[in-house]
Amino acid sequence: MIAAFSLISMLTGGILLYRSSLKIIRLYFYVSFACLIGRCLYEGSYQYYLLLVPLLIMLVLIHQLLKTQFSDYVENIARRIQYERASQADPLTGLANRRYMDAFMEKLLPISKRSNQEFQVSMIDIDHFKKYNDTHGHIKGDELLINLSHLIKRRIRSGDLFVRYGGEEFTLILAGCDQDSAKELFEEIMVDIKEELGVSISVGLSSSHRSNDFYQLLELADDALYSSKQNGRDCITFA
C-alpha cells in the first residue's frame, strides 16, 4: 500500500514537472524509483518482491520515454535556432537582413553615445547592376551579389555589420570609425571589387555626429549614395 501510494505520488509529481528541465525530470524519476526499489528490498516480503518487477519495467519504459523527449527537445531547440537565424539573414548572401540591423542598432546607439564613439553608416550600390543582369543572366547576377558580399566581409572587422538592404543595395555600419578611416577602407574595397569582380560600386556615407536617429542617418547615407550616382558613379560621397 505504501509503495502504491509512493508510486502514485511520484507519477503526480512527474506530471507537475512536465515541461521543466529534462535533467530535473530524469533526476526526480530515478531518485523516486531508487527509493521505491530500496524500500522493496528492505522489507524483504514476498509482496514487495513481486512489486519489483513492474517497478523495473516502468523504470525502463520511463527511461526510454525521457530519451525520446530529450531528443525531441534538442531537435526543437535546433529548429528554433535555425528559424531565428533564417529570419535575420538574407537567404541568398547569408548577410544580416534589415530586421537584424534594427536589433543591432538598438544596442550600438546607446553604447556609442555613452562612450562618445563615432560610427559610420554607409549605403552601397552595384553600378549598372540591371545591365549586368540583362547581359549575363540572373544566375550570374546572383553570383555577383554573393561574391561581392564575401569580398567585403573579408575587409571588415567582426564588430562591423554588413547588411543586404535589398536588391543590389547593401548597408555597412562601421563601429568606432571616423570618416577618414571609412573613406580609406572603401577605396581599398572598390579597388578589390574592380580587380576581382570587374564591376564598380557607388557609396554614400553619413557619420553618427550628424544625428542621434539611426533612420535619419540611413536616409542621409541614401541621399549621399544618390549624389554618387549623379556624379558619375564609382565614387564615395559624404552626407
Active site residues: 168
CA angle in degrees (0–180, nearest 5) for 173-197-174: 10
Instruction: List strands edge to edge, sheet with 120-126.
Output: 161-166, 169-174, 120-126, 201-207, 236-238
Query: Which one-letter amino acid corresponds to residue 226?
Result: Y
What sign results for the dihedral spanned by CA atoms 219, 220, 221, 225?
positive
Query: Which one-letter amino acid corresponds to residue 220?
Result: L
Place of cell 523495473: 56
Three cell numbers written together for 148? 561581392
Place of cell 547592376: 129
Contact status, residue 185 vs residue 238, Cβ threshold 8 Å: no
Three cell numbers written together for 188? 581599398
